[in-house]
Amino acid sequence: MGRYTGPVCKLCRREGQKLFLKGPKCYTEKCPVDRRTYPPGQHGPAQARRRKQSEYAGQLREKQKLKRVYGLQEKQFRNLFELAVKQPGVTGENLLVNLETRLDNLIFRLGLASSRSQARQVVRHRHVEVNGRVVDIPSYHVRVGDEVAVRAQDLDLFPIQEALAARTRAKVPEWLAFDEKNRVGRVIRTPERQDIPLTVQEQLIVELYSK
Ligand SMILES: [Zn+2]
């Protein structure tokens, strides 16, 4: 299956909550999930009326939600899960950390792009440097100590300018630092569960994939 290119707020309705896939617009514009509280499609209203979700359905929804928030395809997502299983510690948390430390997510978290999909594009178009070298792979994993920046000659490009103008200083998460003057982000430490502001029950995803 390819990348989803349909109306993004249909995905909000599917998950029953705003997923903020459009970036800052999601904070200011109305999302159809507020108006129509049932899932999209012909059987949406009936699904909403059904009282109890099966255990599998609940697990599936959590997986789809997390996958969509980060804009990944099943295979990429599954690979990060397999990696999480092999890593020491709690698998669900490892999965979240693996998602969070992707270069495209980092660009988004630093406020250098206004959505993850825009961040992915900024990386693909070779505007991003890690430790002074261009990295154009959105799935690249940053490590503690890495310095991430938009190439100086690309700072005035429209999407980056727009994101920089909209970013607020307070928003950079605690595991990252952002040098406002030089526009350089730095990974201070590995993110922990509480650093990742997502309402997702990652344990359900572990159960789903462990069947
Ligand atoms: Zn929406």
pLDDT at 173: 94
CA 74 – CA 64 distance, rounded (Å): 9
For ligand 1, the distance from its centroid to the CA atom of residue 70, given in whole angstroms, is 14
HSE (CB half, 13 Å, CA atoms) of 191? 27
- Strands, E, within 56-167: which ranges? 128-130, 133-134, 147-150
Instruction: Determine the pLDDT at residue 168.
Output: 67
- Using the mean position of ligand 1's atoms as its centre, give its distance from the Cα of residue 104 in Å: 20
CA of 40 to the centre of ligand 1 (A): 12
In the reported structure, the alpha carbon of residue 20 is separated from the centroid of ligand 1 by a whole-number distance in angstroms of 6
Q: How far is the CA of 22 from the centre of ligand 1 (A)?
A: 7
Distance, in Å, from the CA atom of 28 to the CA atom of 116, rounded to the nearest integer, reads: 18
Residues constituting the chain: 211
- Whole-model pTM: value is 0.87
Domains and CATH numbers, the chain: 8-99+199-209 (1.10.1050.10), 102-189 (3.10.290.10)
On whether the CB atoms of residues 129 and 148 are closer than 8 A, the answer is yes
DSSP, collapsed to helix, strand or coil, labels residue 147 as strand
SS3 36: coil
Amino acid found at 42: Q
- Position 27 confidence tier, pLDDT thresholds 50, 70, 90: confident
**pLDDT score recorded for residue 141:** 97
Residue 136 has pLDDT above 80, yes or no: yes
Query: Average of pLDDT values for 69-85?
Result: 97
Q: In terms of C-beta distances under 8 Å and separation of at least 24 residues, what long-range contacts does 198-204 make, across chains too?
A: 198/66, 198/69, 198/96, 199/17, 200/62, 200/65, 200/66, 200/69, 200/96, 201/62, 202/62, 202/66, 202/92, 202/93, 202/95, 202/96, 203/92, 204/58, 204/59, 204/62, 204/63
pLDDT > 90: what percent of the chain? 62
Mean pLDDT in the chain? 91
CA of 204 to the centre of ligand 1 (A): 23
Min mean pLDDT across 4-13, 106-115, 164-173, 182-191 is at 164-173
pLDDT at 155: 83
Kindly indicate the confidence band of residue 207, based on its pLDDT and cuts at 50, 70 and 90. Answer: very high
What is the average pLDDT across 123-133? 97
Is 60 exceeded by the pLDDT of residue 153? Answer: yes
Q: If you measure from the C-alpha of residue 10 to the centroid of ligand 1, how many angstroms do you get, rounded to a whole number? A: 7
Q: 169: pLDDT confidence band, cut at 50, 70 and 90?
A: low
Spatial neighbors of 152 by CB under 8 A, at least 6 apart, are none
- The alpha carbon of 9 and the centre of ligand 1 are apart by a number of angstroms equal to 4
Residue 176 has pLDDT above 70, yes or no: yes
Instruction: Name the pLDDT band for 22 (thresholds 50, 70, 90).
Output: confident
